[in-house]
A = this chain, B = another copy of it.
Amino acid sequence: MSENSVTAIASPNIAFIKYWGNRDPALRLPANASLSMTLSNLQTTTTVIFDDRLEADQIEIDGSPASAKAASRVTMHLDLIRTLSGVPAFASMRSQSNFPAGAGIASSASAFAALTAAASNAAGLELDKKQLSILARRGSGSAARSIFGGFVQLFSGEVNEDGYAEQLAPAEHWHLVDLIAVVTKEHKSTGSSAGHLLAPTSPIQAPRVQDAARRLETCKDAILQKDFRTLAQIVELDSNLMHSVMMTSEPPLLYLEPESISVMKHVTRWREAGLDVCYTIDAGPNVHCICSFEDSHEVEHQLRSIDGILDIYRCSPGNGVALTANNEQAPQ
Contacts and interface: CB of A to CB of B under 8 A. Distances in A.
B257 A204 contact: no
Nearest to A237: B248
Contacts of A274: none
A261 B258 contact: yes
Interface stretch (A3-11, A147-155, A205-213): A205-213
A271 to B, nearest CB: 11
A197 interface: no
Nearest to A245: B244
Interface string A252-290: 101011111110110010000000000000000000000
Interface in A35-93: none
A125 interface: no
Contact of A261 (B206, B208, B256): B256
A161 to B, nearest CB: 31
B208 A237 contact: no
A191 interface: no
A226 to B, nearest CB: 22
A248 B247 CA distance: 13
A236 interface: yes
B252 A237 contact: yes
* Candidate in A211, A245, A248, A265 with the most chain B CB atoms within 10 angstroms: A248
Given A204-B204, A206-B207, A207-B204, A254 B248 contact: no
Contacts of A256: 261
Interface string A173-212: 0000000000000000000000000000001101110110
A233 B256 CA distance: 19
A203 B257 contact: no
B247 A268 contact: no
B203 A211 contact: yes
Contacts of A204: 204, 207-208, 241, 244
Nearest to A260: B261
Contacts of A210: 203
A240 interface: yes
Contact of A244 (B247, B257, B258, B268): B247
Interface string A207-247: 11011000000000000000000000100110011011101
B248 A244 contact: yes
A171 B210 CA distance: 43
Given A204-B204, A211-B203, A265 B254 contact: yes
Contacts of A257: 261, 265
A237 B243 CA distance: 13
19 contacts: A203-B208, A203-B210, A203-B211, A204-B244, A236-B252, A237-B248, A240-B244, A240-B252, A244-B244, A244-B245, A244-B247, A244-B248, A254-B264, A254-B265, A257-B261, A257-B265, A258-B258, A258-B259, A260-B261
Interface of A: 203-204, 206-208, 210-211, 233, 236-237, 240-241, 243-245, 247-248, 250, 252, 254, 256-262, 264-265, 268
User: What 9 pairs across the A-B complex have the smallest Cβ distances?
Assistant: A244-B244, A258-B258, A204-B204, A240-B247, A258-B262, A203-B211, A258-B261, A207-B207, A240-B248
